[in-house]
Amino acid sequence: MSVILRFAPSPNGALHLGHAFSALLNFELAKRMDGRFLLRIEDIDLARCTDGRINQMLDDMRWLGLEWEDEVLKQSSRFDAYQQKLDELKEKGWLYPSHASRTDIKKAVVIANQNASEPWSSDPDGAPLYPRHLLGEKEDPNQQNQTPPAWRLDMTAILNQHPKLKEQVWRELGPHPDGETILNQQMAMDAARWGDVILARKDCPTSYHLSVTLDDALQGITHIVRGQDLFWATGLHRLLQVLFDLPEPTYFHHGLINNDQGQKLSKSKQDISLKALREQGYSAADIRKASGIDDIDLDKLAASLLS
Ligand code: GLU
């Protein structure tokens, strides 16, 4: 089997130490696994992913000493392919339009909570599950609405039609995020916890979940090594792989680097960027050391990923 790993940043902000760790980890593992290392630019958010940010990102990566194959896939070149897959789901009746705003959803959930003993459930990202039955009038496909809808996966219909999906697992070689549960390489997909997730946004004709799943398959990625913030999203990605009959990669979700306040590093919180660290005089070797990559037994990890 030819091994292919990738680093897939979204250039909607600047790369930070957490990205450096993730990119270095993929790069080092690919070398040890005799595999290929690809770069994919996840720039579906055209307003935020500017050329300036993309170039900065490439520059940071080169400075870190990373080398990737010449052909870099940009998700912004793939909107037609994503649309084709959305159309397939629509034809099966598994995707429906929704004009509901966040406020509409919030209001519906407040009402639902008034009459219930249990609070309304949220998805793993903390967003309330879409209360479709309470917002029915918002999703008439023939409604003359000026704004484009979001397109949501009809999770109930899919799981009812394919009850076996409920038993699906993904292959996880990293630790469980709770730090205690031993995974034994199998993690329950449990896609229902995402509810009727958005696969195409109102402001963008696709979504992270759809694009990442299709592109990992397109690029033949065999091992997905990424941050633990995407651990639970993997259940949804596994569901999409099954629905589209795509190959199943192996996953390793690594721990995240926290800032001084103990929160995970984030572009939006303006955590210190690689560019800023560089301007302060830190070298690429300093960043490598600070990322903790050298504290990992990479040979052992590579061997376990190949097992
Ligand atoms: N583009 C995503 C991000 O920057 C990562 C996607 C992935 O590794 O699956 O957070």
Summarize pLDDT for 192-206 with one digit per residue, the tens.
999 999 999 999 999
| Cα dihedral across residues 166, 102, 138, 201: positive or negative | negative
Residues 249 and 239: their CA atoms lie apart, in Å, by 13
**Residue 19 CA to ligand 1 centre (angstroms):** 10
pLDDT digits (tens, 9 = 90+) for 78-136: 999 999 999 999 999 999 999 999 999 999 999 999 989 999 999 999 999 999 988 86
pLDDT one-digit tens code per residue, 42-68: 999 999 999 999 999 999 999 999 999
Average pLDDT over residues 299-305: 97
pLDDT exceeds 90 at position 263: no
* C-alpha 26 – ligand 1 centre gap (Å): 13
- 208 CA distance to ligand 1 middle (Å): 8
Q: Which atom of ligand 1 is nearest the CA belonging to 230? A: 9
Supply φ then ψ for residue 58, to 5 degrees: -65, -40
Model pTM score: 0.94
Q: Count of domains in the chain?
A: 1
Using the atom order of ligand 1, give the atom closest to the CA of residue 6: 8
Angle at alpha carbon of residue 214, lines to 210 and 219, rounded to 5°: 145
Mutate to test the pocket of ligand 1, among 19, 226, 228 (most ligand atoms within 8 A of CB): 226
Q: Is residue 128 part of a domain?
A: no
The answer as to whether 289 is a domain residue is yes
The pLDDT assigned to 291 comes to: 95
Q: Is residue 80 part of a domain?
A: yes
Question: Measured from the CA of 227, which atom of ligand 1 is nearest?
Answer: 8
- For ligand 1, the distance from its centroid to the CA atom of residue 24, given in whole angstroms, is 14
pLDDT at 71 over 80: yes
Does position 141 have pLDDT exceeding 70, yes or no?
no
Q: Is residue 299 part of a domain?
A: yes
Residue type, 265: L
Q: What is the pLDDT at residue 270?
A: 65
Domain holding 266: CATH number?
A: 3.40.50.620
Lowest average pLDDT, out of 44-53, 232-241, 263-272, 283-292, goes to 263-272
pLDDT of residue 265: 76
d(CA 97, CA 184): 39
Q: Which atom belonging to ligand 1 lies closest to the Cα atom of 229?
A: 10
Structure tokens at 275: 């560019």
Q: What atom in ligand 1 is closest to the CA of residue 7?
A: 8
Q: Is residue 107 part of a domain?
A: no
pLDDT for position 147? 83
Atom 6 in ligand 1: residue holding the nearest Cα: 8
CA of 226 to the centre of ligand 1 (A): 7
Pocket of ligand 1 (CB under 6 A): 8-10, 42, 212, 226, 230
Gap from CA of 15 to ligand 1 centroid (Å)? 12
Answer whether residue 122 is part of any domain. Answer: no
State the closest ligand 1 atom to the C-alpha of 9, by its place in the atom list counted from 1. 4
Q: Kindly give the distance from the C-alpha atom of residue 9 to the centroid of ligand 1, in angstroms, as a whole number.
A: 5
**Residue 131 maps to a domain:** no
- Domain assignment present for 120: no
132 Cα: distance to centroid of ligand 1 (angstroms): 28
* Structural domain for 179, as ranges: 4-99+140-306
Q: Quote the tokens at residue 34.
A: 């005799």
